Copies of this chain bind each other. A is one copy, B any other.
């Protein structure tokens, strides 16, 4: 197979699409630490989790023993509407860079949510519907998750209430309209409609919000309404499970052409895309079958892996969610109002955190302006206008390809292009006008937020 000419875009056939999700926790020798009840500080039970999440999703959240989980047929059918996502060989970028490296990217932007988020949204909406719920509440940062969930809920005729981080709500007025077109209600967060929102507004007047705040509000809204549950688009292990479809398809596409990845790169906010992309590859690593260089890329403005601490922390600013052991900047950390809203999260998936802690993955942080420069270069060469979040991975993929140019190595570089930037033109405008800044928190800021980690 290895001499087969590789097309610009590798599409799997429908019958080659994965029928099971892959749960990397099952194969990890040292498992991610368990979620803890924030009051008792004991491992949380399925019953406790089910007060906030759907029962089946609570089960998936706690399952670290089953490696493969069947994807329900209804979800497979929905996946067929926009999947398989293409694995694209970046022939044009390679040529422009003059690198001997072979660059591949898994493009998850070919759906209206504009990102990979739909992979988990449709699963979560499906289980909510199965359980007979009326609706779900959630938070959204850049708006991709909110859009994805709106689409999924509209498909299953569920009510959808979205708390959108105020900073993104203001920068992306049209995101709200997409969600409304899909029938969702959208509220800027922190709002005055929840107790926790009012409290945060009081403590941080004029705050532009954060994912952590919005999560707290959405959880409160879910628990205060009969027939509602909360759903989350990242961080959780259940989300990584659903997102494993990205990595499974990527690996199947590479295998189809006999290509062995050398370097795998993903942007890291809460970890859903990164975790989904790398899961099957990490699985091979922990089973001793293969080795890969895996790189997580995060913004310098919110550097949880590179400057955070591996400790138990709250997942949300309001401290209503379970405690999770993760790389964190502290749940009180308020990231600067950058243009990669999807990466403005103080913590990180516990699975990704544990993978990082075990040395199975590296992490790098990059500045916003260099990310947009890479985004613009990529757009002009590869034709796709990338989301700012995704462009973090582009930046490092280009860096690695240029290293190959120096060394003359024809490495296979694979990165996740999580989505498109059509709703990020306000940010591109700032970049085009040369007035985009970089935001790097001081050591003092980070120490201050880390000082408030919960006592264990």
Query: Cβ of A292: which chain B residues have Cβ within 8 Å of it?
Result: none
The 8 Å CB contact of A383, one of B112, B376, B422, B425, is B112
Which residues of A from 412 to 449 have beta carbons under 8 Å from B? Answer: 420, 422-423, 425-426, 428-429, 432
Chain B residue at minimal CB-CB distance from A381: B155
Binds B, one of A174-182, A218-226, A331-339: A174-182
In the complex, A257 has a CB within 8 A of chain B: no
Q: Is the CB of B180 within 8 A of A112?
A: no
A127 interface residue per 8 A CB criterion: no
- We find that the number of chain A residues with CB closer than 8 angstroms to chain B is 45
Asked whether any CB of chain B lies closer than 8 Å to the CB of A159, the reply is no
B80 and A112 form a contact (CB under 8 A)? no
Shortest distance between the CB of A116 and any CB in chain B (Å): 14
Q: A31 an interface residue at 8 Å Cβ cutoff?
A: no
**A81 with B383, Cβ < 8 A, contacts A8-B14, A181-B428, A432-B180 known:** yes
Q: Are A429 and B177 in contact (CB under 8 A)?
A: yes
Task: Please provide the chain A residues from 148 to 178 with a CB less than 8 Å away from any CB of chain B in the complex.
Answer: 151, 154-155, 173-174, 177-178
Contact A428 B8 (CB under 8 A): no
Closest to A384 in B: B112
Let me know if A75 is at the binding interface, CB within 8 A.
no
Which B residues lie within 8 Å of A432 (CB)? 177, 180-181
| In contact, A177 and B383 (Cβ under 8 angstroms) | no
Q: A63 interface residue, CB < 8 Å from B? A: no
Q: A383 to B82, Cβ gap below 8 A? A: yes
Which B residues touch A425, using CB under 8 A? 173-174, 177-178
When the two chains form the complex, which single residue of B14, B155, B381, B420 contacts A7, counting CB atoms closer than 8 Å? B14
A379 at the interface (CB under 8 A from B): yes
**Given A7-B14, A110-B110, A379-B112: A428 and B183 interface contact (C-beta under 8 Å):** no
B residues less than 8 Å from A9 (CB atoms):
80
Complex: A174 Cα to B423 Cα, angstroms = 8
| A428/B80 in contact, CB under 8 A | no
- Is there a chain B Cβ closer than 8 Å to A382's Cβ? yes
Question: Is the beta-carbon distance between B8 and A81 smaller than 8 angstroms?
Answer: yes
Q: A173-B425, A180-B429 are in contact. List 13 more A-B contacts (CB 8 A).
A: A7-B14, A9-B80, A81-B88, A110-B110, A112-B379, A151-B383, A154-B380, A177-B426, A177-B428, A177-B429, A177-B432, A180-B432, A183-B380
